[in-house]
Chains A and B, each alone.
Chain A
Amino acid sequence: MKGIILKVALLITLFFGVYLLLFQIDWMQLFQIESRKESTETKLGELFWDFFKQNETELESELIYDSLDSLVKVLCKYNDIDRESIKLHILEKDEINAFALPDGHIVVFTGLIKEAESPEALTGVLAHEIAHDQLKHVMKKLVREVGLSVLLSTATGGGGAETIKSMAKMLSSKAFDREMEKEADLEAVKYMLKAKINPEDFASFLYTLSDPHAEFSRQLAWISTHPESQERAKYVLDAIPYDSQFRILLHDSTWEEVKAELH
């Protein structure tokens, strides 16, 4: 019996010895995993954004674009996020929606900007979408929904127009799972707090949009795809420390100009 135990121990040691030996090799570098992942994500991002660009109208207002860009810049600056990695797009559409595409493409509909009561509320939504990008939720969702092989074939030009269309629609209209949504919400609050932006308006935006009797409920794509909005508003509020001091994001006059240009 002792002999058997010794042999079992030897076998386990041998297994882990081989493992440790192989662990010394930089497989990630050898297989160029990171660069392959990045190029796949870049190609998918371009494909999906091209789809929206061809089917929707991109907003041409410099004032609105610059205002939103300044919000994204603040978030990026205080959270060590490369601003160049976030590609902000605004589409003229009344639907209250915003979503993230692969490779940092963040798409915001004018309907959502119209409905936001303050720059802080809008920044909350932007921070939420940036969080999805930074936490790699977009690629994870795609892999879960369509599978790795379909994604790779799409990225290498093997996916048909219908496949791209259905994936793009899925990204714009279907929420991430509950766990990912909560993670993105809390990450967004972290981004906002680091940038000294008050997340209270973001929470109240969530709360307002969750009202089923609201006139605009029919247009609420962003909120209807993000379940349990009241609960979300609550944990966003809970994450704010009492003694925080916040910055002014946009001057009231600029915000009013943005709103006026949309109406």
Chain B
Amino acid sequence: MITELRLDTLPTEHEAEKASNSYLMSLVALIGGLPLPIVNLIATFFFFVANRRGTYFVRWHCTQALLSQVSLIFVNGFGFWWTMSIIFGDRSWSNAYFAYIFTLLLFNLIEFIATVFSAVQTRKGIQVEWWLYGEITHRLVKP
């Protein structure tokens, strides 16, 4: 799921802090922005834009953090509008809804744990690569 790599050149203290903050940004925004699912994506995106001219290590982690948020936005966005349509619209509670919400919560929980872990490890200067997202990030971010 998550691969840890020792880098040949360790990132500086400042780089490690910025890279770690990219993950923290999504967590802080997630807590602050509930229940709107877009807030954490926007926060991570702005952090990504602010650091797009940073060092390779910082850019790499900002991108991985952003990608992880992008995939969840679809899942969370759909869940959010489904909930709204039950509360304010014509839809009603159903087994399908609860199954979706619990699936959503499970995937969010996994993402949450992975984000906390990544924030801690990158702060120590350790390269953390997520399954799938790490690969996509490698294709997008070049040294």
Chain A positions within 8 Å of B, measured between CB atoms, are: 1, 3-4, 7-8, 11, 15, 18-20, 22-23, 25-28, 31, 33, 136, 140, 143-144, 148
Contacts and interface: CB of A to CB of B under 8 A. Distances in A.
B93 A33 contact: yes
B100 A19 contact: yes
Contacts of B87: 143, 148
A15 B135 contact: no
B37 to A, nearest CB: 16
A20 to B, nearest CB: 8
Nearest to A180: B90
A159 B92 CA distance: 24
Contact of A28 (B95, B100, B131, B139): B95
A138 to B, nearest CB: 14
Contacts of B5: none
A19 B135 contact: no
B132 A8 contact: yes
B103 to A, nearest CB: 4
B94 A28 contact: yes
Contacts of A136: 92
Instruction: Output the residue of B93, B100, B131, B136 with the most chain A CB within 10 A.
Output: B93
B98 interface: yes
Nearest to B102: A22
Contact of A23 (B75, B90, B96, B107): B96
A7 B99 contact: no
Contact of B135 (A4, A18, A22): A4
Nearest to A14: B107
Overall SS of chain B's interface: helix
A181 B135 CA distance: 55
A23 B99 contact: yes
Nearest to A33: B93
Interface of B: 71, 75, 87-88, 90, 92-96, 98-100, 102-103, 106-107, 131-132, 135-136, 139
Contacts of A28: 93-95, 98
B107 A15 contact: yes
Contacts, number: 48
Contact of A27 (B92, B99, B106, B139): B99
B103 A19 contact: yes
A258 to B, nearest CB: 37
B108 to A, nearest CB: 12
Given A15-B107, A144-B88, A27 B136 contact: no
B99 A19 contact: yes
Given A4-B135, A7-B131, A27 B98 contact: yes
Contacts of B107: 15, 18
Instruction: Output the residue of B71, B95, B107 with the most chain A CB within 10 A.
Output: B95
Instruction: Output the residue of A8, A11, A23, A31 with the most chain B CB within 10 A.
Output: A23
Contact of A140 (B90, B100, B139): B90
Given A20-B99, A28-B98, A33-B93, 7 more contacts: A15-B107, A18-B107, A22-B103, A25-B98, A27-B99, A143-B88, A144-B88
Contacts of A7: 131-132, 135
A27 B100 contact: no
B135 A23 contact: no
Nearest to A147: B87
Contacts of B94: 28
B95 A25 contact: yes
B13 to A, nearest CB: 33
Contact of A25 (B71, B93, B99): B99
B73 to A, nearest CB: 14
10 contacts: A11-B71, A11-B132, A15-B107, A19-B99, A25-B98, A27-B98, A28-B95, A31-B98, A140-B90, A144-B88
